[in-house]
Chains A and B, each alone.
Chain A
Amino acid sequence: MKALILIALVFCAVPAAAQRRVIPPSDIKSGFEFLGPDLKKLQQDDFANPGTLWVDRGEKLWRAAAGGDGKSCADCHGDARTSMKGVAVSYPKIDERTGKLMSLEARILQSRVERQKAPPLARESEDLLALSAYITSLSRGLPMEANIDGPARRNFELGEAFFFRRRGQLNLACMHCHDANWGRTLFEERISQGHPNAWPAYRLDWQTMGSLERRLRACLSGVRAEILPYGSPEYTDLALYLSWRARGLPIESPGVRR
Chain B
Amino acid sequence: MSARIQLPAEARRGEIIEVRVLIQHPMETGYRFNDSGTPIPRNVIHTILCAYNGTEVLRAEISSGIAANPYLQFFMVAESSGELLLTWIDDEGVRGTERQSLIVRE
Please say whether the chains A and B touch (CB closer than 8 A). yes
Q: Give me the interface of A with B, judged by CB distance under 8 Å.
A: 47-48, 50, 52-54, 56-57, 60, 207-208
Contact (Cβ within 8 A) B4 A208: no
B22, CB-defined interface residue at 8 Å = yes
Closest Cβ neighbor of B23 among chain A residues: A53
Total A-B pairs, Cβ < 8 A: 35
Contact (Cβ within 8 A) A207 B20: no
B91 to A: closest C-beta gap in Å = 17
A52 contacts which chain B residues (CB < 8 A)? 4, 22
- Stretch from B9-17, B48-56, B67-75 forming part of the interface with A: B67-75
Contact (Cβ within 8 A) B68 A53: no
Contact (Cβ within 8 A) B22 A208: no
**Interchain CB contact (< 8 A) of B67 among A53, A54, A56, A207:** A207
Given A207-B67, A207-B68, are A47 and B2 also a contact pair (CB < 8 Å)? no
Interface size on B, residues (CB 8 A): 14
Contact (Cβ within 8 A) B24 A48: no
**Interchain CB contact (< 8 A) of A53 among B4, B6, B27:** B4
Closest Cβ neighbor of B72 among chain A residues: A48
> With the chains together, A48 CA to B70 CA distance in Å?
10
List B26-83 residues whose CB lies under 8 Å from chain A. Answer: 26-27, 67-69, 71, 73
**Interchain CB contact (< 8 A) of B20 among A47, A50, A56, A208:** A47
A52 to B: closest C-beta gap in Å = 7
Contact (Cβ within 8 A) B26 A53: no
Closest Cβ neighbor of A59 among chain B residues: B2
